[in-house]
Amino acid sequence: MTSRTATPGSPTDRLLGLFPPGTVIGEDGGLVIGGCQVAEVAERFGTPALLVDESALRARARRYADGLAARWPESRVAFASKAFPCTAVYRLLAEEGLSIDVAGGGELTLALAAGADPSGLVVHGNAKTERELRMAVESRAGLIVIDNFDDIDRLERILAEYPGREQAVLVRVTPDIRPDTHEAVATGQRGSKFGLLVPQAREAIARLRGSDRLRLDGVHVHVGSQILDTEPFARAVAAVAELGEFAVYDVGGGLGARYTYDDRPPSVEEYLDAVVDVARALLPSHARLLIEPGRSMVAEAGVSLYRVVTVKRSGGETFVAVDGGMGDNLEVSLYGQRFEATVAARVGGGEPCRLVGRHCESGDTLSTGVPLRDPRPGDLIAVPATGAYTYSLSNNYNGAVRPPVIFCRDGESRAVVRRETYDDLMRRDLP
């Protein structure tokens, strides 16, 4: 298969910069991702579909793991799996040597099914049930993050049933840092439902140091998601440093992804430099440093594919309606996140359009004012940077079936999650 690249600095080159690295335009003018012509992928697996460039995801994982290890050898990268809790993604990242951060029994079950090392699991949650904590203990999860005093009470009761067993824990600290991000994904400020403010965190630390069943390994902090500045991360490290010396400092994740032309998130290297520079200055050199990238790990590797169902010109706008929408991408409705898009066969340029979904909701809009060149019913639309949270938040609104996940690599495509069927929608129903 031959392909061509866009002219550097051209609008098409700018657009391709939002897609997985290595994405090119084929000789027929269509997108090629992971060596696969997306038109052929869509023909084979149908639409909507979430396509993942496997090589791009592996490269991102290595960039994080190798970059952190070079800066702080006693370290570990744990994938914040709520961003993409798919068994195949867990397996891929575990193969690349990453640990896994899980929030809840479902993610814990999926991670274990994928072969993740239980000793590398970091178990989160502001409302972990007794059942979930028991699952974590029974699976010998490496670290459980204490979010509240009830977590301590429940864990001590559970560990009493396992004489001689000890569970390593971290205390989640809320450092009263409010990054510049959407309110729904800010987690480090006073009033957050997550973690303990510093005075409470000190109390929890003192209590855990006196426990004969829970071993306090250290502290955890996470101030939010889709953060486009390194300063809040540096402040967070400084905040937990004030709590004393520990064996482990988990400084969370939150680095933003590039969704639009205007987004300028720090690079992985800039993020790591910001975190490690403060760690070198304030943390004990022998401590283990953990980070938990999620969105910035998987967003760029994912591309959503849709078919145009109808094109309607009304009220001075061009509405391009596709066969998916808020059933497979809730980010627009929840966070007002903007996405770019293109006609996959005619990449770049075109008239400003409102790209809308098929669901019975006026808010079911994927993007506004997005240039689409000569959109027609039957066209394939590609939306880049959808690897984070679209799969997590997919749903059955209007009885829609959730889309498949397709891995592409070296010109080969394979389904790692099948498309739901209407039978699946009824499978849990009882007579």
Whether the Cβ atoms of residue 211 and residue 239 lie closer than 8 Å to each other: no
Q: Rounded to whole angstroms, what are the CA distances from 160 to 93, 137, 143, 206, 211?
A: 34, 11, 18, 20, 11
Annotated active-site residue 353? The verdict is no
Whether the Cβ atoms of residue 194 and residue 225 lie closer than 8 Å to each other: no
In angstroms, the CA 142 to CA 123 distance is: 8
In angstroms, the CA 241 to CA 142 distance is: 22
Query: How many CB atoms neighbour CB 252 within 10 A?
Result: 29
In angstroms, the CA 134 to CA 157 distance is: 10
In angstroms, the CA 206 to CA 147 distance is: 15
Q: Which of 36, 86, 353, 360 is catalytic?
A: 360
Strands (DSSP E) found in 119-265:
121-124, 143-146, 167-174, 196-197, 214-220, 248-250
In 160-229, which residue ranges form alpha helices assigned H by DSSP? 198-209
Residue 115 dihedral angles phi and psi, to the nearest 5°: 95, 15
Residues 6+ apart with CB under 8 A from 324: 47, 48, 304, 306, 357, 358, 400, 403
Whether the Cβ atoms of residue 294 and residue 80 lie closer than 8 Å to each other: yes
412-417 vs 302-314, strand pairing mode? unpaired
Q: Rounded to whole angstroms, what are the CA distances from 24 to 29, 104, 109, 162, 343?
A: 9, 39, 37, 56, 14
In angstroms, the CA 91 to CA 118 distance is: 13
Residue 140 dihedral angles phi and psi, to the nearest 5°: 60, 45
Whether the Cβ atoms of residue 248 and residue 143 lie closer than 8 Å to each other: yes
Q: Rounded to whole angstroms, what are the CA distances from 139 to 48, 103, 165, 213, 282?
A: 36, 15, 12, 16, 34
Whether the Cβ atoms of residue 374 and residue 338 lie closer than 8 Å to each other: no
Q: What DSSP element (H or E) covers 53?
A: strand 49-53
Q: Report, as residue numbers or ranges, the catalytic residues.
A: 360
